[in-house]
Amino acid sequence: MLDLTTKQAEIIKVFIEQYRDESNQVSNGITAKGLEKYGIEPKTFRNHRDYFLKNYFLRLNKVEYHGFENYSYFQITRLGVLAYLKWQSTQKISDIDLDRDFFPKLFEYWGELVESYEQVLFDVLRKTLERIEIRPEYEGIINGEKIYGGKLEETITIPMGMIDVKIFRKYKQIDVQEIPKKRDYNTEDVFELSNQEIDDKITERFTFLLFFNLLHLGTSAGELVNTYMQNYIEYDKNDSTEQSEDEVKEIYKGYAERTLENVTKLFVIINQDKTLHTLVKSTIKEITDMLANRKTVQAIYDKLD
């Protein structure tokens, strides 16, 4: 569940922007009180804290114990960044930047992708965020209170011709740190490597899916036309001069040629980048192997008269 309200997005944005400290080192995180300097009231943060932690948008990174007062430092997670990007993509903001710390391979080629694909890139980014969902294994309401739990479940949607195929996988159980009520004065607990494996897998999956969706423009006529309709026809509605059929065809032809040229360039980038090539190829193989495994369906079919 990658859903944020405007207020929640405002809070998450601060954690993203303050991921590194003034010396450019990864920071310990931010306390509720520390958010005041960024315009967020501690009470406002505490009202949303449980939602952030249970959905793994934030994680507890460090706790300092000072007598009766504890200082809990929270840090952004990859899932929190994705939630913010999804919220941002619904606000019709075209200038979206990806940070090196969270998606290094996308960051490496982001400037080139923006220059080549222009507005189309942001449309594909929006589609990618719609096609990935990561949420707790179970959620519900008991006595009027929302509960979340279990492992994280991931769903990605892969377009295949006339149908969309959903691929599911589970992450391991999230290691949620609980704050002890009492500890010795002037001591601390640090959990900086907690759930790192989950963060890495989320980074890899989102990186794959965005590159896959960009490549898909060059292999699916339907995807190409749909993207054209969203990025050109909508804009033309604001034009008072009516375009002829030939003019519309000419615009589409130019768009299609540019997009296919960009897809060709992207294949070159992926084939020359060993890490990216391994990621894309191995993930596609993982997906096709899953689709090829039809034992359960076949077992039912075989028992039918």
Q: What is the pLDDT of residues 230-245, one digit of tens each?
A: 655 544 445 545 667 7
Nearest CA-CA partner of 192 in 61, 71, 29, 19: 61
Write down the pLDDT at residue 195: 80
Specify the pTM. Answer: 0.82
Q: Which amino acid is at 283?
A: T
For residue 42 the two structure tokens come to: 């501690």
pLDDT in tens, 121-161: 888 898 899 999 988 776 666 666 666 667 888 889 888 77
pLDDT at 178 over 50: yes
Task: Enumerate the domain spans of the chain.
Answer: 6-216+273-302
H helix runs in 55-103, sequence order = 78-89
Mean pLDDT of 257-268: 88
DSSP-assigned beta bridge partners for residue 76: 58
Spatial strand order of the sheet with 187-190 comes to: 69-76, 58-66, 187-190
Of residues 59 and 140, more confidently modeled: 59
